Chain A
Amino acid sequence: MATIVAEATGQAILHEEHEQSFLRKYIFSTDHKVIAIQFLIYTLFFLMIGGLLAMLMRYQIAWPARGELPLGGIFPESMVASGYILPEFYNALVTMHGSVMVFLAIMPMLVGVWANYLIPLQLGTHDMAFPRLNMLSFWAMVPAGILTLASFFVVGGAAGAGWTLYAPLSARPDLTGVGLGQILWLVALVFIGLSSILGSVNYITTTINMRAPGMTWMRMPLTIWSLFITAILALLAMPVLSAAGIMLIFDQTIGTSFFLPEGGGQPLLWQHLFWFFGHPEVYILILPAMGFTSEILSVGSRKPVFGYKAMVLALVSIAFLGFIVWGHHMFQSGMNPMLGLTFTVSTLFIAVPSAIKTFNWMGTMWRGNLQLHSAMLFAIGFVAMFAIGGLSGVFMASTPVDIYIHDTYFIVAHIHYVLFGGSLFALFGAIYFWYPKMFGRMMNETMGKIHFWLTFVFFNLVFFPMHGVGMVGMMRRIYDSTGYAHLQGIEDTNAIITWAAFGLFASGFLFAFNFFWSLKKGRKAGANPWNATTLEWQTPSPPKHGNWEEVPVVYHGPHEYSHPDVEDKDWLAQNERPDVVSPAAGSH
């Protein structure tokens, strides 16, 4: 417990750097910045894997009877037989696409990468509160990733009961043919839970106790607020998933029957536990993205964040409401319909803070001096796409409408507008924005802009038509829609979606190329290429081990851009003397 590294002064830590071996410095590092970069590489890899799974899935949906899968020969016979994706492999694709994207790509990219990188830097401290636990939180993800990849190659293939793992399907190998694959994924999930909890303990403790002098709560950048709230959600939600996952493992392995009705168990108990975790999880996946967006929009508009206090309050209320809305995933599950009523009310009200945030982002852009670089484009794209995802959510919050659209592609469209158009757009923006701080070089702007426009266009071509397919009534997770009378006539739409999905996947490689190319060839970025005010930009790029020669002192709020009394420049860093800025930098 008392394993905290003694941090005497920044000097001591800088000195220590010279003595570190390669292994200590880059592999088993306790430096939050190195851990963040490890997470970044890890999550980009799994983002590609998740995308690949989606491409295979889309191929099957567009041309269910065609076979002829390109490069189908490289897959084992148990997955693709003479060019045909087999139904069991399709179920594994559906399941693992969702699981990999949520747990191994988006969530660790939002939190593992950016909470690690930004919390100590933006708060003005040397490192996390518990650097060794932090290292452990990355290394717990490694077995999770290995188990996940391995699960595709065991007998029966990877998990095939959907990312939501609904019991009894997920608990009874005799009904799916999937045995070990399901268990491996559940074990991976326990490791992910451990990683997430260790990380959260660190993020929360660091934020509570290690802020630089003068960094009061209401002077924290919105990124920190969102990551802090997210960490609280993960801290409280992940253990419930771990508990449920362990019970499900027991059902599979040692003969318990928590979720199996024949042994007296309750299938709906799984759903309650899963969604008690799952809905806060939805906010874990979007709140950090909201934080990045607020930050980038403010820097790119050269304006303070509009309604900072309202933004903080909205974050807090979303987090609170997030714990009492889980039942809205279960309106058609057989749960007591009267419970559905209460969940409708709480769910609809969560739309209010989301609306507040959207309007405040627009307010931030209003009368700004917009710098439309790649990071800014992705941040604006986030607002535009998140708005669609939020609005389509109103349909399913209205229980009667949900009767029809539940479990159709309308839901698929909704979740992707939030998770891809929302979280991933903001993540791309965050990478373009903080890359110079991480690596000391800028990413290429031209490639960045092309990447944005390709992503934006293909993304909408993929997911907007899914609303239509859902309205027609296409069910989720079906291997072949052509057999249904009511689904006749959507084949062309599905083919267009698939072609656009290929384009979307391909444009990811432009990003990857830019990412690695810029490491060596990118323009050198000074300490503060964006003329930004928050603390991470007031130290060299990349920052040294220990971050600061001398801990900065904070004098005012985080987004002082274009202050009328500041001459010569349009920004005032948080650690610059406040003589010209009023100390109460809240809304007035």
Chain B
Amino acid sequence: MTSVPGIEKVLIANRGEIALRVAQTLRRLGIASAAVVHAEDKGSPAALAVDEACAIEGETPVAAHLDSDQIIRIAQEIGADALHPGYGFLAENAAFAEAVEAAGIRFIGPGADVIRLMGDKIESRKFVGDAGYPLTPSAAEEDDPATFAARAAEIGFPLLIKASAGGGGKGMQIVHDASELSQAIDLARSEAERYFADDRIYAERYVVAPRHVEVQIMADAHGNVVHLGERDCSIQRRFQKLIEETPAPAMERSLRNRICEQAVGIAQAANYRNAGTVEFVLAPDGEFYFLEMNTRLQVEHPVTEMVTGVDLVEEQIRVAAGEPLRLSQDTITFTGASIECRLCAEDTSEDFRPAVGPLLLVRPPEGPGVRFDGGISQGQDVTTAFDPMLAKIIVHGADREEAIARARKALSETVILGCTTNGEYLERILAHPDFAAGRVETGFIPGHADELAAPGLSTDDRDTILAAAALSNRDFVERVDAIPEPQASMGAWQN
């Protein structure tokens, strides 16, 4: 007997820490759990945590996890009532969500139509703008070529001239003041033609030192939508989040309320269902603009769980089963502060290059207010087959200061040996005075590159490390014992 009527068994179509995390909630709810497992993950904590580990095959491990036909077939074979996609892989694939539902299995997520709408960056912006929510001010040349320059200047400087068909920064011009405008427009147009064979261009406000702020949404099939507060995810490298926290630091209550209310409005307009996240760009002047909506559980959802006490995966399952939300906006309370650090196999001194190697020793952090969401195990080989994220260290404190202190302690106590990680680097970010002061923005990491570099070693530390290495080296220790007495008494200083 499960505690969610209608859901007896759930297939988790994911791996690693998120598969393990979903399995833990299923167990607590008395729901049978299954997961698709590629040979590469055989014996992983997630594979061991579920009641049924179902083998999936593919040319590469990632290809196996993207094989929707195979995954749906497995779900049917094992008699799953519902499927949890986690994040990544097929989580935001509208055709997959549709196919799962068509196979008579509940997709634990929003409807395929909303996934499709929000998955199209241009369509979703148009939808949100038409619904009356703020977008980065922009002007398209094709709307009225004669007035384009004037409409662009109205946006204010600095601004960007971009190719409509563009991407990856190609054909993009930053314009700092009006005197550069006409030349930049000509240049952008010719580059757009050259790179994309499409000379349509548009102007957009260039937000300097923006913050990335997002809002957690939960909605049911009965029209109820609530928010569970915001998260600041400004600490990023290569457009990937590294540290997330809630509440967003250095933000006035009125601004926070406005952002959260707008997110709820956007979800309502989209007729959204299940867990979702509305992402905004926040400018230093307090203006904020819709960026995109993620139609799934986020990697960083635990910080929201820490301050609200809500298990978001449980709410997702209940909503998927058709239950009305148990939460109402008035009953959701926020206690203290929470920070998540993404522990990744990468070399921060080599431009965050992914690292590989065997996990010779894994020792998660412990202590009050510390949560470790990891799908790794000692002895496992870290390869480039999957995403470099190994685990998430999440802490909760009475306030931000305590959360930072706990996160720093947890990071320095986490031991992962054999594969290079970014653990020390994350600790240096948390230790930075600008981070402590809440002065975060998406350019934080490149802007503080020098201060965040690994400090040198003192002679004492160097000696300690060398002695530890020598005394744990079998040959070296045997040699100590093998030295004959007369020579030993002379010492080795003579070399």
A, B assembled together? no
